[in-house]
Chains A and B, each alone.
Chain A
């Protein structure tokens, strides 16, 4: 699709032929982009498309290798974030930089360039937060605030600089649907004032809902500029990934079998001061079923995964059951030998070792469960490289893992391709039980659809699948049953067809459904 011409009023920001090279790798290649006054402009792209690099150049974190940035008609070189702020560019990062022990006002004051009194900062901050519908108590300690509230601090902090352009990097990835709605209202207010917003996301639905124009990046290049409302999610996804994204088909799920994975009154106290303790979690996953656990990040998902996988065994043997045998005290490999497979959330340094080749990362998960195939030499346990290489090839082909070379380091693969490999590594064993934490976190649309389809297919083939996810779209695509985790407590499960997004949003906020009469829907 051709790049649209300039609109009538003069553009706020024009980027022409912007390029950033890291060595010989072009993270951004000849980027052209134009943001008008008072528009919400989406920057769409899969992981590794160059969105972050582009934004970092606009905010003065990285210096471009070539190209021009024109701000309000003047050619500028943005040498630092401070220079960007002076020009009128504000940014809200995906990962917040806040001191938990300080109050909201103190955190805001820290980022101010000049010496303004704390009282004045607090006053200004609360005025702004009310004006834009971002309620904040300046005296509250950050440690006590929810993720959504912390994001508001970052937004207010950016607004205090009176910016013309606000850049938001994946702002809704940490929010509940209700919190996201609130954020969208704020963005519309900013737009009404004539400010512009550069909105980075890979969530097509959101982009269609709030953005006026969209620029799509793929492999560091602009592949399209369009009005997202005139597009369909499928056509946007096509621009993002370069091919059609297959819709996941969950129909025709087979009848449910025996309980294959069960937690019985699983309670785990927090291992670290920052961890969440699990409180009396009960769940059952039957063969042929996909149970999805929804919830906002940091409500015990990681801890639940650790307990179910056996990376951190629990004291009560009966609290976790795999194929109706107690395994609570057994370690992860014992559970794998009973037919379970596990996919953790974090790819780098947990599911895979980035510097090691894919074949080694295959051995990582399957050295015990596939000892017969992969190890030789008796007690020496010599790794059989030929068998491992053949299995690596098989998995890469089955999951369409695109890689440079035969056996590249895991870290050189894009997030989506590495995740396909990590999921494929488990599917290759045909596990009777699969526990997946955030299966498509930070993964491009094409890979995400493939992974979700694979999970659905595995359940159809008679396995029990447990998916822990923050992504409601994903949950509705794959789940037959849905439960919600909040502050380490798990709600009752509901059949996916009977649950609305609003209801999930309420459960995420800790409003349990037990008293609402729907608790007995699932016959456990």
Chain B
């Protein structure tokens, strides 16, 4: 017997919709097997991982808080990935955005003005974009692989933040803890709804998703992005510049990652610490692909991946398993999403093959 992948005459619409759901289902199945191997009842474990966090109002707010940065970053990444620019360094751009946006509340903490918050957001976007400009410059002008440079710059950003909060930006009144001073009230992103902690970062994420969706769907810029992503040569024929597209997509995704960073710090943490992200910048890559690189799909995918963070925390408490379980689920999901995409382009056939006399004749 052998398995044959047979190319479909046309891309299957059915499977391009079903594929993320099949992937999610497979993740549940294999996650259940993993829990069983850990000696936990898979049903109760999965329940506490995926259902319990959705059962209370406060945890729904937590879901939105966690989904906001994932969606914001993934929307930017979708533009990068669609244009064939592989920005893997959103985590670093997130951190640099958070640092740049925190200059006002940390260094100029006694400046009180309604301008503080909008300026923080702008500086956050600028910080993320400038940090993304490094791999953009290297790719556009030195032909350097952006996957490597953007990824390596993540560690630069992480260590820079670590140095800042232990050194120059450490809170003078903070008992020597590696933290900056907590932000003043006018530097904190307010809550959106009275019922809980969800801050305006979630609104930014939804607005960004809709704007980018509009750009991709209706405008010449969106068309340019798709064309250059599918064929650089055809893009050149159309008069589009792939070099300018490197800059555009990297700066856009850097700015959105930076906005996510400063929103997270200003809205949820309210100070800088050595670690401000549980890997949002990397998880957003999964979000982008699970959402089929479509900004509206990314909103849904962002909520799903946010759930894995909450589930990990819940599982840690109620089951006593390591929160690394979150990473395992995220990894399973990405793996299955990418492999289920095969179904869109191919049909799988099992071929039963028997030897016959004529085979032997033929090979003699």
Name A residues whose Cβ lies closer than 8 Å to a Cβ of B.
22-25, 74-79, 83, 86-87, 309, 311, 331-333, 336, 342, 344, 346, 349-356, 360, 363-365, 367-368, 375, 377, 380-383, 412
Contact of B238 among A365, A381, A412 (CB under 8 A): A365
Q: Are B362 and A79 in contact (CB under 8 A)?
A: yes
Name the A residues within 8 Å of B364 (CB-CB): 86
**Closest chain B residue, CB of each to CB of A311:** B236
Can you name 6 A-B residue pairings with CB atoms under 8 Å?
A332-B239, A344-B237, A349-B233, A363-B223, A382-B218, A412-B9
**Distance of A230 Cα from B226 Cα, bound (Å):** 52
**B248 smallest CB distance to A (angstroms):** 14
Determine whether B144 belongs to the interface, using a CB cutoff of 8 Å to chain A.
no
> B327 on the interface (CB 8 Å rule)?
no
Given contacts A23-B347, A365-B238, contact A76 B362 (CB under 8 A): yes
A365 x B237 contact (CB < 8 A): yes
Query: Is B231 in the interface zone, CB < 8 Å from A?
Result: yes
| Chain B residue at minimum C-beta to C-beta distance from A380 | B219
Q: Are A77 and B358 in contact (CB under 8 A)?
A: yes
B143 within 8 A of A: no
B220–A375 contact, CB under 8 A?
A: yes
Q: Say if the beta carbon of B141 comes within 8 Å of chain A.
A: no
Residue of A nearest to B227 (CB): A353
CB distance from B24 to the nearest CB of A (A): 26
The answer to whether B237 and A74 touch across the interface, beta carbons within 8 angstroms, is no
Query: Are A78 and B362 also in contact (CB < 8 A) when A331-B239, A350-B237, A368-B239 are?
Result: yes
SS class of chain B's interface: helix, strand, loop or mixed? helix
Any chain A CB within 8 A of the CB of B8? yes
Contact of B239 among A83, A333, A380 (CB under 8 A): A333
* Distance in angstroms between the alpha carbons of A311 and B241 in the assembled complex: 10
Q: Chain A: which residue is nearest B233 at the CB level?
A: A350
- Chain A CB count within 10 A is highest, among B221, B237, B347, B356, for B237
CA A375 to CA B224, docked complex, whole Å: 13
Q: Does B234 contact A (CB under 8 A)?
A: yes
B165 to chain A, nearest CB (A): 42
Task: Verify if B243 is at the interface (C-beta below 8 Å from A).
Answer: no
- How near does chain B come to A405, taking the closest CB pair, in angstroms? 10
A24-B9, A75-B361 are known; give 10 further A-B pairs, CB within 8 A: A76-B358, A77-B359, A83-B363, A311-B237, A349-B234, A356-B227, A360-B223, A360-B227, A365-B238, A377-B219
Q: Are B239 and A383 in contact (CB under 8 A)?
A: no
Chain A residues whose C-beta falls within 8 Å of the C-beta of B363 in the assembled complex: 79, 83, 86
Task: Determine if B324 is an interface residue (Cβ-Cβ < 8 Å).
Answer: no
In Å, the complex CA distance between A189 and B289 comes to 59
Would you give the 0/1 interface string for B331-364, flagging 1 where the beta carbon is closer than 8 Å to chain A? 0000000000000000100000000101101111
Q: How far is the CB of B222 from chain A (nearest CB, A)?
A: 8
Within the complex, what minimum Cβ distance (angstroms) separates B289 from chain A?
Answer: 18
Chain B positions 1 through 27: 1 when the CB is less than 8 Å from some CB of chain A, otherwise 0: 000001111100000000000000000
Question: What CA separation (Å) do A377 and B220 show in the bound complex?
Answer: 11
Partner of B6, one of A22, A311, A363, A364: A22
Contact assessment for B9 and A356 in the assembled complex, using a CB-CB cutoff below 8 Å: no
Contacts of B359 in A (CB 8 A): 77, 79
Q: Which residues of A contact B41 (CB under 8 A)?
A: none
* Chain A residues in 8 Å Cβ range of B358: 74-77
Residues of B within 8 A of A354 (CB): 230
CA gap between A344 and B218 in the complex, in Å: 27
User: Across the interface, which residues of B come within 8 angstroms of A79, CB to CB?
Assistant: 359, 362-363
Are B234 and A352 touching (Cβ within 8 A)? yes
Interface string of B129-168 (1 = CB under 8 A from A): 0000000000000000000000000000000000000000
Closest to A375 in B: B220
A381 pairs with B9, CB closer than 8 A: no
Point out the residues of chain A lying under 8 angstroms from B218, CB to CB: 377, 380, 382-383
Shortest beta-carbon distance from A432 to chain B in Å: 18
Residues of B within 8 A of A383 (CB): 218-220, 223
Q: Which residue of A lies closest to B232 (CB)?
A: A349
Return the contact of A412 from the options B10, B221, B234, B239 (Cβ within 8 A). B10
In the bound complex, residues from chain B placing their C-beta under 8 Å from that of A364 are 227, 234, 237-238
Q: Which residues of B contact A22 (CB under 8 A)?
A: 6-7, 9
